[in-house]
Each structure stands twice: as structure tokens, then as C-alpha cells.
Structure 1
Amino acid sequence: MKIILIGGSKLAYFLAKQFASKNYYTTIINENYQEAKSLSRSLKATVIHGQGSDPATLSEAGAYQADVVLSLTTEDEDNLIACQIAQKEYGVPRTIALVNDPENQQIFEKLGITVAFSATQIIASLIEQQTASSDIQNLLPIAEGKVNVTEIALEQDNPVVGKTIDELQLPNGTLIACILRQGEVIVPSGENSLQSLDRLVVIGQPESYGQLMRLLCNE
């Protein structure tokens, strides 16, 4: 696999080390001369001093043969442009962009970036997971982090016990996929009521996760 990393000096360093362990061919583009020089001395990777949003620099980095372009600069505009050029001019099949401002994530996705990830949202999600009730288990991100699957146990004093699913008014983008009750698996409808000691398998988009936890876990 051939990967082009743009920017992200320290992050690029550790990623390149990981890729090297998998025998991936990695090229790093960094516009800071001193950082580029340092990376070239410490990594088994090709390092180019230049801007990743410059078509000529991408061409020099071998974008025509690249399988992935990963842009990690501190400027969202540069990350977006680099990925778009890689896709449209060089036919790179997979582009990944760091989104520094979480509000830009949907814009990146609508403009065709294969994966746009926000470090801010990832950290916030981790904090929510760690501070949530101990009765929440098995959080599983799927579809490249766009959907979470969570298992939640309902204690007797949980205010949702006795309510039907329709009465809960679940947040948009979430659903209760199944109820685990005394060894039985129930695929619920809106008329099913919840009982104490039920374990709920819920599916939801990350942006709705906090609201869902507050509703089902009495937070």
C-alpha cells in the first residue's frame, strides 16, 4: 500500500512508524523545512518539503500511484483542498482529512472526502464514555465511526422503566435495536415497555450519543 501523509509532524511520525511495521510505502509532505528535515532523519519514509495542497508537490510525492492521502495540517481549508486535488486530479481512491473545527466535518463529507475525522469529537466521546454509568458496556463504533452500538443495563430506579419505547421519544438518529430480557432476545416495537434489569442494545449516531445516554441512564 502507498500512503501520502500531509503535515502533522508528530502524528505523521508515529503513523509512518506504524505503516513501516506493516511494510506500507509512505511519503510525507511537510511545509516546515526543519520538521521535514527531522522526519527524514528519523523515519524510513520519503519526506518532501512542500505544501500538500500544491498539485505539483502531490505529483512529486507520487499521488498517481497512491492508495491513500491523509491530510493532517492545522488548517481545515488546506486539508480539504489537498484531499480534493488528490481525488479529482490524481484519482486517489481514498482520502482522509483531519477536521480541526468539528462544524466542518459534515462539509468535508458532503464534498466527497472519504473519511473526515474530528479529534475534538473523538475526545469528547471518550470523556462521555468514561464518565457514563458503569451499566453501559461494549461501545462499538462501526461504519468508520459514524454509528455506535452500546449495551445499557436498566436498574430498578431508572425512570424509563415501565415506559414504552414510543413514550421515550428517542433522539433523532437513535433506536433500540433489541432488548435482552431473562435470556430472551426481543426485537421491540414502539409498544414494548421496558422492565428493570433489561439490557438494551441501542444504535445511534455519535452526535446523538450524549442525549441518548442522558435519557436512558438518568444522567
Structure 2
Amino acid sequence: MKIVIVNGTHEADFIIKKFKQEKHDLTVINSDRDFGTYISASNRIPVLYGDPTKAYVLEDASAYNADVFIALSTNDIDNYVACITAKQLFNAKRVVCVVRNPKRVDVFKKLGIDSVISSTYLLGESIKNESIIEDFIRTMTMENEKILITEMIVDENSVIANQKVRDAKIPDFINIGCIYRDPEVVIANGDTTIYPHDRLVIISTPQRQKQAIDFIQRKVDDNEN
């Protein structure tokens, strides 16, 4: 497939690595020159620097007839403009837009965006104290609401800190998609060691999300009680 990925930071890096492994035809555009340089070097792929909301930038990138066009900016409106431009002027077959404001999901769909992913912060019952609030548990709810992608920081006293994935006794209902370990994104496998301050991207169902969060938050002292 021809896939165009515009803007984003670590999310873009992770997606690019995954799609590159699957041998897709990738076009990458990023308005952040510094992070674009990192993505280019990390993935050995050319990156066009420019504003993807501008039609001439998409034209320079030969973004015509993409099977999938993904916009990952932190600015919802920029993502919408980039997606709708790709769809209407460059014949993108499917456009995917990330939004920070969940109220825009239905609006953007009605305005012609095929898939809208809402990124929000979870500050609900799973949060026990201020130190956890500072971890900024971030959740991306997929369009069909059957999969949740939750981002959490590993505490120094976590039961999984300094453990290999295969030895951490991670329940079957939790899947570690990747680990953000600045400046790298690590695709986890059984031999991957989880270190304190790693930012885990965990995948679960909505029904299991609270259990997944509780497991990652468990401290060594909790096991001894």
C-alpha cells in the first residue's frame, strides 16, 4: 500500500517502523525539521520538510492516490485540513485524523474524514495519587471503540521495572505495543527489558483497561503485603 504519514513525533516514528517492516510504500512529511531529521536517520527513509496543510507541499511529496493518509499533528484543525486536502485534491482513498479534542470526532467524520482517533487523558478511578496524575496516562480510542491504546510511564518501584517482558508475568489481556525510550522507540519482544521511566504503549480492550492500568501501577511493596 501507499501510505502517507504527516507530522507527529514518537507516534509517527512507531508507525513508520511498523509499516516499513511490512514493506509498504511510505511517504513522510514533517514540519518539525529536527524530529524529521531524527525520523529520517532512524528509519533510513527520506522525509520532506514542510507544512502538510499546504497543497504544494503534498504535491512536492507526490502524495497522489495514497491508499492511506495519516495526520498526526497535535493541532486538530491542521490534521483536518491536511486530511481533507489529501482526500479532495490528491485522491487519497482513506484518511485518518488524530484529534486531541474528543468532541471533534463526530464533527470531523461528518465533514468527510474516514477515521478519527481521539486522544484523551485518563484521570478517572484508576488514578490513586498525584504522582500518577503526573504520569499523564494517555489513551487513544480507536474508531470502533474496541481497542484502547494507553500510554504509561514505568515507576522506579513498579513490579515490572528492570524485568524482561517474558519474566514480568504480564497478563494475557495486556499487549505492549512499543516502548518510548527517548530518543528511541523500541518494539518490545520477550527479551526486551523494561526500565524505570520507560513510556509503555499498552493495548487492551475497554473492559480490561482499568485492570491493565492497575497492573502497570503495582509497586514491589504491594506484592509483599
Pair in the same fold by TM > 0.5: yes
3-state SS in 1 of match to 2:82: helix
Correspondences of 1:62-211 after superposition (within 5 Å): 62-120=62-120, 124=122, 145-146=143-144
Percent identity for Structure 1 against Structure 2 = 32
Q: 1:68: Cα distance to partner?
A: 1.0
Q: Deviations along 1:37-78, whole A, 9 cap, x unmatched?
A: 111111133311001111111112222132111000010110
TM-score, normalization by structure 1: 0.56
Give distance in 2, aligned partners of 1:25 and 1:70: 13
Q: 1:146: Cα distance to partner?
A: 3.0
Give distance in 2, aligned partners of 1:80 and 1:107: 10
3-state SS in 1 of match to 2:113: coil
3-state SS in 2 of match to 1:41: helix
What amino acid is the match of 1:103? Answer: K
Is the Cα contact below 8 Å between 1:4 and 1:61 reproduced in 2? no
Larger radius of gyration: 1
Matched, 1:39 2:29: no
3-state SS in 2 of match to 1:146: coil
Aligned length: 135
What amino acid is the match of 1:78? Answer: D
Q: 1:147: Cα distance to partner?
A: 5.8
Relative to total residues, which structure has the larger helix share, 1 or 2?
1
What amino acid is the match of 2:84? Answer: Q
- In structure 2, the residue matched to 1:188 is none
TM-score, normalization by structure 2: 0.54
Give distance in 1, aligned partners of 2:77 and 2:115: 15
- Tell which deviates more after alignment, 38-47 or 69-78: 38-47
What amino acid is the match of 1:146? Answer: N
3-state SS in 1 of match to 2:36: helix
What amino acid is the match of 1:85? Answer: T
Q: Deviations along 1:148-203, whole A, 9 cap, x unmatched?
A: 5xxxxxxxxxxxxxxxxxxxxxxxxxxxxxxxxxxxxxxxxxxxxxxxxxxxxxxx
Change in 2 beyond 3 A, CA 1:3/1:128: farther
Q: Deviations along 1:25-45, whole A, 9 cap, x unmatched?
A: 112111111111111111133
Structure 2, gaps ≥5 residues long: 127-141, 147-205, 207-225
What amino acid is the match of 2:40? Answer: S
Q: Deviations along 1:124-160, whole A, 9 cap, x unmatched?
A: 5xx789xxxxxxxxxxxxxx64365xxxxxxxxxxxx
